[in-house]
Amino acid sequence: MPQPVQRMQDRLYHDLILPEETQEIKIKAREFTNRVVAPRAYEIATTPESRDSFPRDVFRALAEEDFFKIPYPSDAGGLGLKYPCCATVVTVEELAYASNSIAAVYDVHCILAGHALEYGSDYIKETYLKPMTTAEKIGCFATTEPKASSDLSARSVQTNAVQKGNKFIVNGQKRFITNACVADFATVLVNVEGQLTMMVIDLNAKGCRVGDPDRKMGNNGQLTSDIYFENVEVPEENVIRDIGKGLHTALGTLTYGRVGIAATGVGMAQAAFDESIAYMKERSAFGKKIGQYQYWQFKMAERATEIEHARNLYSKAALRMDQGIEFPEPEAAGAKYYATELAGNMARDAVQIFGGYGFMKELSHDQSHYKVEQIFRDFKIAEIYEGTNEIQKMILARTIFGRDLVD
């Protein structure tokens, strides 16, 4: 396993934004990542997806050390932090520094499925949310369909639910659902006679089937699968909020998720930056260390400044969420697009700096491998999921020009 490089964040970033409570969680998350996640990161990143490849050891360790309790109040089985969103997203950044797969698994379990459940009744919180905090149950969040993702409108969402007495009959298909093949339940966006509604569906229910994991370009440890519903009976008490409130629930949940994905972008960008700095101090070309060339000095100066901006943006979005602002714009949209775009730019720079070594999953000569290749494969999905970066720019444009003009 390659030796860890110097964490440049400690040298370059002076956090004057996040509260002390959050700083303590960040220290704990970093120690956990170094001890548990980093040693497994390469294997997770290079193992082909299968039902057996889910990183259960890391998932269990996250539960045992109470990381799944961070986002929630004490009455829901959580830690009851004053700034739960801030603590959650700094945890996500630390996890993404070592493995964006693990960060995505955590994001979906805690932020997407978990936050959707927070909109629910006491019964839903007791039955589904509390067991999630200890990993007794694994959750997933299902809005995307084969022909609906960015456009979550009643005209696009085809998974439908028909009410019959005190239950609903659900038919349809969801796609790219993270954790589905290992999950116990899903929070599902369905169409009830033109009214979008969120409900909890047990994945072991009769008529429910989860497909095998997709084979993806990156994020191998984040397993995504289709979910098929064929006349699945769902009790009416599993409806989150009310019929017709599903889009608001989904968008509120995805906004929180976007702050988390922004944090993953920062984590990946910081990791690629750190790997690059360490390599440029050692590698020589034409009689000089690569770090002595002004082109790369200036480029890294730009990237360091951009990482600062991205981290500040997601921190501000998280602080506003902790103040009770459900849709903290423009910070959330700005953070998501800027941080994930930065991750891509920094990953491309890193592979270029490493040259041929950056293109290797494993060098046959000595079985060595380089983290920048993993980051290069993993970053791309962050620009797509939980709202494409184009959607984020549209949200920003609405904030700038007003919805009437933009729409």
Nearest alpha carbon to residue 94 among 146, 175, 17, 35: 35
Active site residue 20: no
Instruction: Give the position of tokens 């962050």.
Output: 382
49 CB-near residues (< 8 Å, 6+ apart): 213, 214, 215, 216, 220, 223
Catalytic choice (49, 94, 331, 386): 386
Report, as residue numbers or ranges, the catalytic residues: 386
